[in-house]
Amino acid sequence: MSKTRIGILGYGNLGRGVELAIRQNEDMELVAVYTRRDPATVTVETPGVAVRSAEQLEAGNEPIDVLILCGGSATDLPAQTPVFAGKYNVIDSFDTHHNIPQHFERVDEAACAAGTVGLISCGWDPGLFSLNRLFGNCFIPEGSDYTFWGRGVSQGHSDALRRIEGVADARQYTVPVEAALEGARSGTHPNFTTREMHTRECWVVLEEGADPAKIEAEIKAMPNYFDEYDVTVNFISQEELDRDHAELPHGGFVLRSGDTAGGHTSVIEYSLKLGSNPEFTASVLVAYARAVARLAAEGQKGAYTVFDIAPAYLSIHDGAYLRSHLL
């Protein structure tokens, strides 16, 4: 079997997750990690994997079949994915839902011009949760959608806490409200406010001399992030944060419920419980990187999302195996 040669751009939590995920996919090979840092300062775990400067990607002749972009959605991916789709087959986990259409168009233009394949917004949300929203809407055409996140660490909300003056460090958990989950499962199509679906749980380390009451009030009033939620704030020491909140678990639930034309209720529920958000996201990226390589080998080009990928393309196994073992 000739292996699919993977490059990783960006060696943070997600990039490290991709490195690990490739070890569980024997048809994949990690060729190089590309970094914007000085490559001499970056040590990867896997023996024999090169660390190269991100600049070396520019010429478009690195020996990789798919480049997995592991940067952030705020500034990295909007700039990187269209550029590198012009040189390589690429995949990203761009997750700013509102800007997906524009990102898709820019990647599509670059990939069509270059004859490459660019798969965007791949992970679990957007990604697997999106698939389940789509499937739910197709199989239950008249119904209600629910997406719950958690219990898990929201890195965006943790960052927002850390930007508050007087906060030394912080971790924020998004927690689905059990009663709302039960309501969504009941098939009675309840409508929920933002506050009714999730609570937010903050673990905060204060800087010396900071006023906990003032900081708690500031957190609870923060627009968009916290003001529409029931929020609990717990003050702990850095040691406690490091000991009890070092992991990045996450997950959630996608539900679709509705009635058939015969008046019978159907409920579809999809859920994820993830010990490590970046490691699982990386596993999803690696499976879709396999699909990208296959589409490219067929001569396809342009931008894709998870909606456009036939599930069989994700598997290491061929169609005959899948039909006899998993159908």
Numbered residues of the known binding site for NADP(+) = 11-14, 35-37, 70-73, 93-95
Q: Which of 47, 48, 63, 101 touches a second copy (CB under 8 A)?
A: 101
User: d(Cα 66, Cα 47) in Å, to the nearest integer?
Assistant: 20
In the complex with a second copy, the residue whose CB is nearer, 163 or 325, is 325
Provide, rounded to whole angstroms, the least separation between the CB of residue 217 and a second copy: 36
User: d(Cα 275, Cα 222) in Å, to the nearest integer?
Assistant: 29
Q: Give the x/- contact pattern for a second copy in 52-91, rule: CB under 8 A.
A: ----------------------------------------
Residues in the chain, total: 327
Say which residues have a Cβ less than 8 Å from residue 204's Cβ, sequence separation at least 6: 161, 167, 169, 170, 215, 219, 233, 234, 235, 236
276 touches a second copy (CB under 8 A): yes
Find out whether 171 and 150 touch, Cβ atoms under 8 Å: no
Q: Which of 161, 202, 272, 292 touches a second copy (CB under 8 A)?
A: 272
Provide, rounded to whole angstroms, the least separation between the CB of residue 187 and a second copy: 7
Q: Give the x/- contact pattern for a second copy in 284-303, rule: CB under 8 A.
A: x--x----------------
User: d(Cα 28, Cα 139) in Å, to the nearest integer?
Assistant: 34
Cα distances (Å, whole numbers) of residue 215 to 199, 205, 221, 224: 18, 11, 10, 17
Say which residues have a Cβ less than 8 Å from residue 51's Cβ, sequence separation at least 6: 11, 32, 33, 35, 39, 42, 43, 44
Annotated binding residues for substrate, written as ranges, equal: 149, 174, 200, 250, 277
- Give the up-direction half-sphere exposure of residue 184: CA atoms within 13 A in the CB hemisphere: 22
- Angle at the Cα of 219 from the Cα atoms of 218 and 221, rounded to 5 degrees: 65
Q: Is 210 exposed, middle or buried (0-12, 13-18, 19+ CB in 10 A)?
A: middle
279 touches a second copy (CB under 8 A): yes
Q: Give the x/- contact pattern for a second copy in 139-178, rule: CB under 8 A.
A: xxxx------------------------------------
Q: Which of 21, 107, 197, 233 touches a second copy (CB under 8 A)?
A: 21
Tokens of 12: 């943070």
Stretch that binds a second copy, among 56-64, 156-164, 221-229, 271-279 (CB under 8 A): 271-279
Q: Which of 84, 104, 173, 203 touches a second copy (CB under 8 A)?
A: 104
Q: Which of 35, 116, 174, 283 touches a second copy (CB under 8 A)?
A: 283
Provide, rounded to whole angstroms, the least separation between the CB of residue 114 and a second copy: 20
User: Which residues between 185 and 244 bind a second copy (CB under 8 A)?
Assistant: 185, 187
12 touches a second copy (CB under 8 A): no
Say which residues have a Cβ less than 8 Å from residue 320's Cβ, sequence separation at least 6: none
What is the crossing angle of helices 277-297 and 13-22, to 10°?
Answer: 60
Q: Which residues bind a second copy (CB under 8 A)?
A: 17, 20-21, 23-25, 97, 100-101, 104, 121, 126, 128, 130-131, 133-135, 137-142, 185, 187, 247, 249, 259-262, 264-276, 279-280, 282-284, 287, 305-312, 314-316, 319-320, 322-324, 326-327
